[in-house]
Amino acid sequence: MAHPHFLIVGLGNITHPMTRHSIGHLLIDVLSTRLGIPLTSDRGGFTATTNLQVEQNMVTLTFYKPRALMNISGRPTVQMLRKTAVNPANMVVIHDSVSHKPFTISPKFGGSAGGHNGVRDIIAALGNNPDFHRLRLGVGRGAGDLADYVLGPLSTQERQHWSVTGPGSEHVWRELTRIIQKSLKT
């Protein structure tokens, strides 16, 4: 019997690792490390799939980092969604948010892209369907040019916070399990 399947997508730019803009990629790396499932590379990106128990339910989780640049990550994300036969409502997209304070997490289901071009591209690739989960990781705005700020390297404090042993990755994991539990009840 097939288990409920969830696709966890981390947005970022492969060309700018360890930056605020690529914090979604970082969290996919961190979560796959926490769970002991190495990511494998293919043409579209990096994936890892595992089965695990969430409360009384066995679920399948596929973690995915698109290789495409953030602003054009919609098509490969939807291709992975189809490949894993996951309903968009069982997808969680992890991405940076300049609208939220650093070190915060803001879960959201549906609605607009909130100015995030990667999320906007996924919505468009889904045929203008915004009905998927997002975990918006706060990076703040910083001083000066916004593009320079989000493409700037994560500070030591940010790297520690979102690391495998940091409180940020634990908080992300709790939010993911909460989303999965809630989805299983509906």
- Where are the chain's structural domains? 5-185
pLDDT for 167-186, tens place per residue? 999 999 999 999 999 988 87
CA distances (Å), origin 176, targets 62, 104, 107, 124, 170: 12, 14, 9, 24, 10
Q: Could you give the residue ranges of the DSSP H alpha helices within the chain?
A: 23-35, 74-83, 117-125, 146-150, 156-161, 167-185
pLDDT digits (tens, 9 = 90+) for 81-103: 999 878 999 999 999 999 999 99
Strand pairing category for 133-138 and 105-109: antiparallel
Which tens digit of pLDDT belongs to each residue from 26-63? 999 999 999 999 999 988 899 999 999 887 889 999 99
Predicted TM-score (pTM) of this structure: 0.96
**Catalytically active residues, by annotation:** 21
With cut-offs at 50, 70 and 90, classify the pLDDT of residue 1.
low
Q: What are the beta bridge partners of residue 84?
A: none
Given a cut of 90, whether residue 21 has pLDDT beyond it is yes
- Range 5-185 has CATH code 3.40.50.1470: yes
106 Cβ neighbours under 8 A, 6+ residues apart: 97, 100, 135, 136, 138
- Residue 77 near residue 94, CB atoms below 8 Å: no
Name residue 124's amino acid. A
